Amino acid sequence: MKDSKSDPTADIAREYLERDNKDKQVLALLFEKFLEKKDQILVQKTEMGGTEAYIGSVTLEWFAGRVHFASGLPLFQKKYNSDTDNIEIDADSIDEIQQRPVDWSRQAPLVQYLAARKNHKFPPVLVVINQSWVDDPKATEWDSEGRATKSTTDFTPLDKDGKVGLLNISEDDVTIYALDGQHRLMGVQGLMELIKTGKLQRYRKDKSADDSFIKINDLIEQYQVDPAYLQSLPKEKIGIEFICAVAPGETRTQARRRVRSIFVHVNLMAAPLTKGQLAQLNEDDGFAIVARKIATNHPLLEQRPGRKPRVNWNSSTVATNSTVLTTLQAIQDMSERYLGQKFPHWKPLEKGLIPMRPEDDEIEEGIKDFEKLFDNLADLPSYKLLDEEETTALRRFSFEKDGGEGNMLFRPVGQVALAQALGILLFKKGLALGDTFKKLRKFDQQGGFSGMEYPQSLWYGVLYDPNKKRVQVAGRELAAKLLIYILGGIQDQMERAEIRKALADARTLENQTIGFDGKFVEPKQVGLPPLL
């Protein structure tokens, strides 16, 4: 008969699992006990560059209520402006300042982002823990040489290595200031006010009211925000990193310099994205999504073996000797100015707000429309020359080294102006794409886009600055209007008169107006070119 005794190995494994589960239960009970205390927070201790820090997380509600702007540190009180939460800069305070001024015009966009976008995310904030004794030279925490005998952070380790533990955040003992993250703090505070009162005052940069409000009812209507979802936001958590205002052995001056240095280093290392990089990464802006698709897939722009790249992905400008045709930023601008006439709702409701991603079917429709535009652009005589000539020769002005065509179609500003004009003509004026490009091909064959640096050119003084002998971006709007006019999109006589005057003004240099024959004329003698 087979022995029914259990397997010793299985018994050991079972005992181990039971013990492990019991340990976890005990640990959970202990954590629950400690975390119930409102004056302590569970953190992990880190050290980098000689600075100890404690990393944890807090609710948005706690962050908004407990953390102050760094400019409110007692150290700054003599120069602190309570109306703007900024330091008044003068000869006395300049060396004490640790923060850039708070730009209150950013609060409304940040609040809109948090309230209306469900996949919102703020990076962790860096805060300083201060205690009242820091600002009392006679406090017992300073020794006879003016050095601190203790830290302003009170950490209780829970493990033998002292890496995980509880940080004292009692309101009776500590005050907390945002060292890096003051605009995030401003945004979260605004969100709490919006949820509590139903509206939020908009401010200008200096915190002066601009007579308008963000209202919960508007967010619900415009972005289909669920009221219950809004009420849940205060319990969301944000990462937070604490450092001490004063470390043991530091004098007050040394502590101030250390904290200020940390702030500068944090901001220097956080290099902002370029416009080109934003265009590469943006998944919310419909115009950027369409631009990326065309830039990577259209035959005129796509990367091909044996062909030099035609798109600069990072910079917003094209260098003199660059062989690219355009930039991703320019393609995005073209997308916005062309498709924006058909899909105006793709744009954010206000400047500074983050646009909401369009529906997928609209994005597909936008891609098809933009693709058709580039199909026709690729058929222009100027762009057909790319099979034989480099972009540099077609872009350079005649007086530059090795000379060139001075063709506006090889300048981002010219490309954007053309896209803007075509968007208005097609989507606002109702002109046909094929007929419009038939006219443009004829205009191009006659040299209409080339020789910008010559007085005979329509773009002289508009996109080309005769004084500085370079392209001028400021003329883009007028260039678009001129294109709309010559393509038959402006019938109103008053509007035509305004364009003619603007053209005469653009060709007036030092009170002398240059006619299309290169001679000085009276401004009223500058006429509009014939229609195509």
* Distance (Å, whole) CA 295 – CA 300: 9
**Phi and psi torsions of 423, nearest 5°:** -60, -45
Do 155 and 209 share a structural domain?
yes
Cα-trace Rg, the chain = 32
Flag whether 496 is in a domain. no
In a domain, 79, yes or no: yes
Residues 26 and 57 in one domain: no
Task: Give the count of domains, the chain.
Answer: 2
Whether residues 72 and 19 share a domain: the answer is no
State how far the Cα of 358 lies from the Cα of 272, in Å rounded to an integer.
26
Ramachandran angles phi, psi of 229, nearest 5°: -65, -40
Is the residue at 265 inside a domain? yes
Three-state SS string over 199-268 comes to EEEEECCCCCEEEEEEEHHHHHHHHCCCHHHHHHHHHCEEEEEEEECCCCCCEHHHHHHHHHHHHHHHHH
Bridge partner list, 52: 47
Question: Closest Cα to residue 88, out of 97, 75, 100, 79?
Answer: 79
Return the closest-CA partner of residue 244 out of 252, 255, 235, 236: 255
Q: Do residues 166 and 28 both lie within one domain?
A: no
Q: Judge if 60 and 124 occupy the same domain.
A: yes
DSSP state of 139: S
> Is 255 found in the same domain as 190?
yes
- For residues 120 and 166, membership in a common domain is answered with yes
Distance CA 351, CA 261 (A): 34
Closest by Cα among 468, 469, 332, 327 to 406:
469
Give the pLDDT score at 85: 53
Strand partners for 327 = 312
pLDDT per residue as tens, the chain (532 positions): 445 556 777 777 777 777 777 877 776 776 676 666 678 898 999 988 778 899 999 999 999 999 998 777 665 444 445 555 554 444 444 344 444 567 888 898 889 889 988 888 899 999 999 998 988 888 999 999 999 999 999 998 988 888 988 999 988 889 999 988 888 999 999 999 999 999 999 998 888 888 888 888 888 888 888 899 999 999 999 999 999 999 999 998 888 878 877 776 776 666 566 667 666 767 778 999 999 999 999 999 998 888 899 999 887 788 888 889 999 999 999 999 999 999 998 987 666 667 778 888 999 999 999 999 999 999 999 999 998 888 898 999 999 888 889 999 999 999 999 999 999 999 999 999 999 999 999 999 999 999 999 999 999 999 999 999 999 999 999 999 999 999 999 989 999 999 999 999 999 988 899 999 888 899 888 888 889 8
CA dist., res. 440 & res. 419, Å (int): 12
- Verify that 23 and 169 share a domain, yes or no: no
What pLDDT, on the 0 to 100 scale, is given for residue 84? Answer: 57
Last residue of a domain, one of 244, 271, 298: 271
Examine the fold and report which residue of 271, 293, 320 is the final residue of a domain before the chain moves on.
271
Is the domain of 163 the same as that of 24?
no
Residue of 243, 253, 252 whose CA lies nearest to 128: 243
**pLDDT score recorded for residue 435:** 94
70 located within any domain: yes
Reported residue count of the chain is 532
Q: What residues contact residue 105 under an 8 Å CB cut-off, 6+ apart? A: 202, 203, 204, 205, 352
CA dist 290 and 419 (Å) reads 14
Distance CA 452, CA 409 (A): 11
Q: Which domain holds residue 201?
A: 42-271
495 vs 481: CA distance, rounded Å: 10
Answer whether 42's CB lies under 8 Å from 27's CB.
no
The amino acid at 339: L
Q: Of all helices (H) and strands (E), which one includes residue 311?
A: strand 311-312
On whether residue 328 sits in a domain, the answer given is no
How far is 301 from 388, CA to CA, in rounded Å?
Answer: 16
Task: Tell me: do 83 and 222 sit in the same domain.
Answer: yes
Same domain for 19 and 46?
no
Question: What sections of 388-432 are H helices per DSSP?
Answer: 391-395, 412-423
C-beta of residue 284 within 8 angstroms of C-beta of residue 272: no
Q: Looking at the domain assignment, is residue 220 inside a domain? A: yes
Question: Would 143 be classed as within a structural domain?
Answer: yes
The span from the CA of 427 to the CA of 429, in Å, is 6
Q: At residue 200, what are phi and psi to the nearest 5 degrees?
A: -140, 125
CA separation for the pair 409, 417 (Å, rounded) = 10
Last-in-domain residue among 271, 295, 318: 271
Q: Residue 99 has what pLDDT?
A: 46
| Whether residues 46 and 33 fall in one domain | no
Whether 525 is in a domain gets the answer no
Residue burial 351-384, b: 16+ Cβ < 10 Å; e: rest: eebbbbbbeeebbebbbebbeebbebbeebbbbe
CA 64, 65, 66, 71 dihedral sign is positive
Distance between CA atoms of 193 and 182, rounded to whole angstroms?
A: 16
